[in-house]
Structure 1
């Protein structure tokens, strides 16, 4: 049994390496039509479904034999925007969930540096819930939050701690003081906060990236 577990973990690590070669592991899941939670379970050594694994292998440019047994060529490292190859070894950054669930998301450092010009130490991951920020953000999207950017600037989107959960809204300062919280979905009216209410608002950070599955 221990030997079987070891093999499953090794397969999960090879799959992780292949998925990271795409840049960010959610990209691999999205392109393969596999839920990110499924890919995460596979990478953590969970039992793999052949059809899902085959789709992931195809997207990542590796063979099923390589994932299963480590035979054949390792995944290619994608070039960055300057045409230079990404660095392997210490080239991954783990972005923790903002509520500390699971192990976080492993992201290629090269992709992160060329896509998001923020200090990775302050980045946190949150799952978007609800349709209030549609079409900009959709239910189930993954969003990266810069916890070092809590100073409100007009029109930016922020994650807010509302006690029983996390709310994501676009915030604007009001001329007379206070803050206006806006939803991108026109079904939700703006919410105006007085200066005293704004002072008590817990801003977790600015949303700097978000992504999810393909939309129809």
Structure 2
């Protein structure tokens, strides 16, 4: 399936799920997602714009489905048709229990289905105003399942893990969050997160292309960190390190 056909299929999925959820208009769905304009939903449903992973998660939460159903559809619905609207339910299961943990340390051999990515713990990719402090942490590695990388179309040789600091990307990326970066993907897809070198500051931000060739830098915590606009003549200030394909954060029990 080509990229244009895929966008159209995803658009059909969104429209079908919106109708199933009893959301009658694109404007209502946009409002529930926290988006200012109806046009984003309109473009998605028309198949003229690719849905970012972040937006797929937002849509899935509002519509009460998984991001996979947004992007790939329900296997029982193969014709992409719009079903009869259903009333939204208030009770749902959004988790699956997987009992137990496999414990391992630096001496534990990798399994056949694992790879070890370099983990630069002390490279601070600041989610606030940025940081120039760069120091490797003695060969530390983070284990990944090969299937995890395959799902995101990431090759191990181009991937690395780092930690994020600051609060500008909250609530999605809290201070101390670990992110995986694919250094082979540097082309901007609107709304995706990237690790960037911004005039010597290492940062994790959402990027958008602007008319005329500029770049808009956006934080989730938009109240404290307003959008930044890089005009075309200043693009030499920005170096895209890579696309953020994965993140994980550890909660700490404070009781």
TM-score range, shorter chain: 0.5 to 0.7
Secondary structure of the 2:165 match is coil
Map 1:150-165 → 2, pairs under 5 A: 150-162=186-198, 164-165=200-201
Q: Is 1:60 aligned to residue 96 of structure 2?
A: no
Equivalent pairs, count: 138
In structure 2, distance between residues paired with 1:61 and 1:150: 34
Name 2:209's counterpart in structure 1: 173
Q: Give the TM-score normalised by the residue count of structure 2.
A: 0.47
Which structure shows the higher helix fraction? 1
CA drift at 1:111:
4.6
Give 3-state SS (helix, strand or coil) of 1:60's partner.
coil
Q: 3-state SS of the aligned residue for 1:92? A: strand
Confirm whether residue 182 of structure 1 aligns to residue 223 of structure 2.
no
**Residues 117 and 170 of structure 1, relative CA distance in 2, 3 Å threshold:** same
Task: Show the counterpart of 1:94.
Answer: 117
Give the superposition deviation at 1:104: 3.1
Counterparts of residues 132-143 of structure 1 (less than 5 Å): 132-143=168-179
Any conservation in 2 of the 1:124–1:144 contact (CA below 8 Å)? yes
> Does structure 1 conserve the Cα–Cα contact (< 8 Å) formed by 2:191 and 2:208?
yes
1:121 Cα deviation (Å)?
Answer: 0.8
* Cα shift readout 1:14-47 (whole Å, capped 9, x = no counterpart): xxxxxxxxxxxxxxxxxxxxxxxxxxxxxxxxxx
Unaligned runs of 5+ in 1: 1-57, 68-73, 75-86
**Cα distance between partner residues in 1 of 2:163 and 2:147:** 20
Call closer, same or farther: CA 1:197–1:163 in 2, change over 3 Å.
closer
**Conserved in 1, the CA contact under 8 Å of 2:198 and 2:237?**
no
| Deviation readout 1:91-134 (Å, 9 max, x if unpaired) | 33233426533323231433534553211111111111101111
Superposed CA RMSD: 3.1
TM-score by length of 1: 0.54
- Structure 2: give runs of 5+ residues left out of the alignment: 1-98, 124-134
Cα deviation per residue 1:165-212 (whole Å; 9 max; x = unaligned)?
411111101113311101110221100111021243111111111111
Alignment equivalent of 2:238, drawn from 198, 201, 214: 201
Q: CA deviation at 1:59?
A: 4.8
Matched, 1:103 2:139: yes
Measured in 2, the distance between the counterparts of 1:61 and 1:175 equals 49
1:144 and 2:143 are equivalent in the alignment:
no
Whole-Å Cα distance in 2 between the matches of residues 113 and 208 of structure 1?
A: 9
